[in-house]
């Protein structure tokens, strides 16, 4: 079995989250911005996203 924990290459330092719930459909839409501290050089960033549909993502 693989380790389910996220790699410790980047540590989140702040989150900005906006959610718009649809109570009738039991769903939501929203946006999130995450500030991270990069601890080691890396070419990838891993996030948890179980049961989420991500429409776009960017690293700035």
Per-residue pLDDT at 46: 87
Per-residue pLDDT at 47: 86
pLDDT tens digits along 23-45: 999 999 999 999 999 999 989 88
How long is the chain? 60
Q: How many CB atoms lie within 10 A of CB 42?
A: 11
Residue 21 has pLDDT above 90, yes or no: yes
Confidence category of residue 1, pLDDT binned at 50, 70, 90: low
Per cent of the chain over pLDDT 90 is 62
Look up tokens 């080691």; give the residue: 40
Whether the Cβ atoms of residue 18 and residue 29 lie closer than 8 Å to each other: no
Domain ranges within the chain, ordered by starting residue: 1-60
**Closest C-alpha among 57, 30, 54 to residue 45:** 57
DSSP at 53? -
Residue 55 has pLDDT above 90, yes or no: yes
């Amino acid at each position: 079995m693989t380790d389910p924990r996220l790699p410790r290459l980047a540590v989140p330092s702040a989150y900005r989250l906006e959610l718009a719930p649809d109570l009738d459909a039991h769903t939501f839409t929203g946006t999130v911005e995450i500030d991270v501290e990069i601890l080691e050089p890396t070419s990838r960033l891993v996030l948890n996203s179980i049961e989420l549909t991500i429409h776009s993502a960017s690293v700035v």
